[in-house]
Amino acid sequence: MTNLLNENNYGLFFKLIFLGLLDAIGIWASVLLYFQGAYGFIVALLLGAATINYVFLSDRTYPIRYMVPGLIFLFAFVVYPIGYTFYLSTTNYGTGHILSKQQAIESLKGQYYQPEDPVSYSFEAYKNNQGDIKLILQSNTGDKTYLTGGEKLTEVNLGNERFVDSDEDGTIESFGDYELMSRTEVIGVLQKLQKWKPEANGVALQMSNLTTFDQRISRYEYLEERDRIRDRQTGELFRPEEGTFVSTTTDRSLEPGYKATVGLENFSRIFTDPMITGPFLRVFTWTFIWAFMSVLTTFVLGLGIAIILNDSRLRLKPLYKGLLILPYAIPAFISALIWRGFFNTNVGIINTKLLQPLLGLSPAWFQDPLLAKVAVLIVNLWLGFPYMMVVCLGALQSIQPELYEVAKVDGASPFQQFRKITLPLLMVSVGPLLIGSFAFNFNNFNIIFLVTRGEPPIVGATTAGSTDILISYTYKLAFGGQGATQYGLAAAISIIIFLIIGTISAINFHYTGALEEMSENV
Amino acid sequence: MFNTKSIFKRFWSWFSDRGFKHLIMFAVLAFVLYPIIWIISASVNPVGSLSAQSLVPDNPTLENYRLFFLGGANKYDAPFLLWLWNSLKLSVLTGLIGTAMSALAAYAFSRFRFTGRRTGLLSLLLVQLFPQMLAMVALYFLLLQIGDLAPWLGLNTHTGLLMVYLGGSLGFHTWLLKGFFDSIPHSLEESAQVDGASHFQAFIRIILPLARPMLAVIFILTMIFVYSDFILASILLQDSSQYTLAVGLKLFIFGSYNQRWGIFAAAALIGALPIVAIFLSLQDQIVAGLTQGSVKG
């Protein structure tokens, strides 16, 4: 009994140290995050820490303690990303809509135009001992004089005594510790000066030649109270509409746009925007055909081999089984990359060693949509049938041999035995696995992306290829690096995939009664 | 007695009974082994190009294997060994930590009755229906944001990718293990608890040792999944020195099949070896685990 108490005390001791450390780290991290302005993370962190403290201190929540480590990762990297995907699917996030609205307005304000008759400023450059450079700019109209260090224009009066013009030729020789630079010296820093765009009150200057800066005017101004952008050059007004500033009078819109929620816009684009609908429907259809054909081909071959191997009198059975399982043991990404080489039109061994010598053919596997589809199905058959073989073999062995004896006595042909006994009994145990295999192949990214990369391209489509399935299409939209990235659209397609997979799983649960069984067992 | 007709008859009856089965098996074996034999042949072929390949190479050499182990010093400047190490590191760590977390959660679901237990189990199952890779865009931005605050946890780090894998490995394996724990009689722990062991001690000393075979299967399934993952690693890792073998090998060979075929063949074979070895030695258990749920990637 004393022993038990001691151990409990140890437990309490370690628990308090653990929680103390955790809270200390949590508070320290919150302070750091506060200075970074990451308030969302702070809320998540504090909620998480509070929950953990509660779970470890209250006796009622004892079982939850075992789940804490897993739940942290499950929430952070599965549940939260699912929610975030739903959120992203309602935004226009992507190329041209990366910035926040405020950043987009700033970016627009940074665009300048040169008025038809710009005011020119002649300049002299000055340098101090540290190598800093300043310019004195005088307008050709003679009414403005500015001093600048590169960013801000400060209006100055050269009559001030700090500006020294000892020879009284009208050119200032020095001010403060800055000394006049010769034109040769100016040429030395030309590259630097060309990048300068000093500005004040919407007036910006930019170097136009060795002696002058020209005036540029900030093209857009933001009218805050009306939430409009005004184009100073044309006088046009732009109103914000779902992440883009669009003209109120013409069909012009401004670049860049900004990130905004657009409701179900992405989903409606999938079904109405002709640039997307066509490719999407082809990808969508092929995804189903691909998943179905993958299951069908691997199952037929796997079952056929299983039936042959199920013959107990067959010699060499372990050898056959051992060798046939090999493709399944090799990681799929490696097999896919190898097969991509084999299918190479000019140098791949399928053409050079098999088809060319035997049939005189040399098909361009990845340029023809149909052949590319055949190629990925062949690869998938190669690495997928051993799974079906093993599964069917297990299921066949559980069928009682007496059933066949009886059938033979009744005069059933082998084919009838197969149809009436083998197949129905097999389906009971293998059926759900076929649906599972369908769902897996539905998202079989590795085979598609690593064998054909979704190619050949669909004519008229920017991103989608003939062998792309929904998941590889999503990947290309978001990370493809070809053309514009469309995170919002990619997230919307993820949601569609999720709905399809969810439906398939629901069918599977219904079919096997697994959910009811699980509900009873839990 | 020499009778041609009877020999032919006997052969035919053997053939139609079993012989044709061997014939079919040979055909399937040819389909299965053809690529494997070619890739082995390519890996020892001194001519490293795909177009110049022959089934039986002249002057076979282990040069390609030597290049593999040279790391960044090989003529392709591709750190294969580092990529392999990265893959193995991530798979083993995800396997170990993921299995431990699943086992802890499964123990609670199996041995305790508490409010929210049922809901918890069913939600775990539903969450798992959402393949993690569907959230790839969200995961990318999540790690991007985390990386702004803690660069060692963000994009292009193994810790970040490891956390993502851990999140994804949990749901289904918890179910699998819970089922297994349910089948272990309670009497064993109860007698230990009478002797003064706490729940946690009973879990560590009694349940875990008994569940060792199942834990091994889950460890290996997780490992194989992580080792074979391409999509998440390719999104979340950005530098060559961080790549896993899947990402590195793809970038290495895409677009350069003809020139780099020989060294690629060696790298592919070495890369496949750890998984093939594990798979073949534990084949029955792995297939049993797989048929209860997910399909290998």
- How do residues B134-168 score in pLDDT, each as one tens digit? 999 999 999 998 888 888 988 999 999 999 999 98
Give the model's confidence band at A494: pLDDT under 50 very low, under 70 low, under 90 confident, else very high. Answer: very high
Residue B48 shares a structural domain with residue B127: no
CATH number at residue B82: 1.10.3720.10
Domain end call among B69, B88, B107: B69
Q: What's the number of CA atoms in the CB half-sphere (13 Å) around residue A22?
A: 17
Residue B24 shares a structural domain with residue B163: no
Query: With respect to CATH, is domain A272-521 assigned 1.10.3720.10?
Result: yes
Give the model's confidence band at B199: pLDDT under 50 very low, under 70 low, under 90 confident, else very high. Answer: confident
Whether B296 maps to a domain, the answer reads no
Give the model's confidence band at A518: pLDDT under 50 very low, under 70 low, under 90 confident, else very high. Answer: low
Whether B84 maps to a domain, the answer reads yes
Whether B135 maps to a domain, the answer reads yes
Nearest CA among A482, A392, A387 for reference residue A430 = A392
Among residues 411-470 of chain A, which lie with CB inside 8 Å of chain B? 433, 436-437, 440, 443-446, 449-450, 453
Chain B contact for A41 (CB, 8 A cutoff): yes
Whether B26 maps to a domain, the answer reads yes
Q: Are the beta carbons of B145 and A449 separated by less than 8 Å?
A: no
- Over 70: is that where the pLDDT of A93 sits? yes
Q: pLDDT at position B273, please? A: 94
Cα–Cα distance measured from residue B145 to residue A246, given in angstroms and rounded to the nearest whole number: 31
Among residues 62-121 of chain B, which lie with CB inside 8 Å of chain A? 100-102, 104-105, 107-109, 111-112, 114, 117-118, 120-121
Residue B154 shares a structural domain with residue B259: yes
Residue B151 shares a structural domain with residue B202: yes
Residue B52 shares a structural domain with residue B177: no
Whether B92 maps to a domain, the answer reads yes
Q: What is the number of domains present in chain B?
A: 2
Q: Which residue of A has its CA nearest to B22?
A: A314
Measured between beta carbons, which residues in chain B are less than 8 angstroms from residue A73?
101, 163, 166-167, 170
- Over 50: is that where the pLDDT of A3 sits? no
Helix, coil or strand: residue A230: strand
Measured between beta carbons, which residues in chain B are less than 8 angstroms from residue A430?
none
Residue B47 shares a structural domain with residue B85: no
Q: Which residue of B has its CA nearest to A516?
A: B122
Most confident region among A102-111, A372-381, B215-224 by mean pLDDT = A372-381
Cα–Cα distance measured from residue A284 to residue A462, given in angstroms and rounded to the nearest whole number: 16
pLDDT in tens, A473-487: 999 999 876 667 889
Q: pLDDT at position A265, please? A: 87
Question: What is the extent of the structural domain holding B12?
Answer: 4-69
Strand order from edge to edge, sheet including A228-231: A220-223, A228-231, A237-241, A244-247
Amino acid identity, position A83:
G
Lowest mean pLDDT among A61-65, A370-374, B269-273: A61-65
Domain end call among B69, B93, B110: B69
Residue B237 shares a structural domain with residue B140: yes
Residue B9 shares a structural domain with residue B136: no
Query: With respect to CATH, is domain A114-218 assigned 3.50.50.60?
Result: no
Residue B210 shares a structural domain with residue B194: yes
Contact indicator for A461, A472 with CB cutoff of 8 Å = no
List CB contacts of A334: < 8 A, sequence separation 6 or more.
B249, B268, B271, B272
**Where in chain A are the domains?**
2-66, 67-111+230-263, 114-218, 272-521
Q: pLDDT at position A471, please? A: 94
Strand partners, A180: A126
Cα–Cα distance measured from residue A32 to residue A42, given in angstroms and rounded to the nearest whole number: 9
Whether B297 maps to a domain, the answer reads no
Residue B47 shares a structural domain with residue B92: no
Residue B8 shares a structural domain with residue B75: no
Token pair in block for residue A116: 């038809």
Instruction: Say whether the ipTM exceeds 0.85.
Output: yes
Among residues 122-151 of chain B, which lie with CB inside 8 Å of chain A? 122, 124-125, 127, 129-142, 145-146, 148-149
Residue B27 shares a structural domain with residue B135: no
Q: pLDDT at position A482, please? A: 67
Among residues 313-332 of chain A, which lie with CB inside 8 Å of chain B? 313-314, 316, 320, 322-332
Chain B contact for A67 (CB, 8 A cutoff): yes
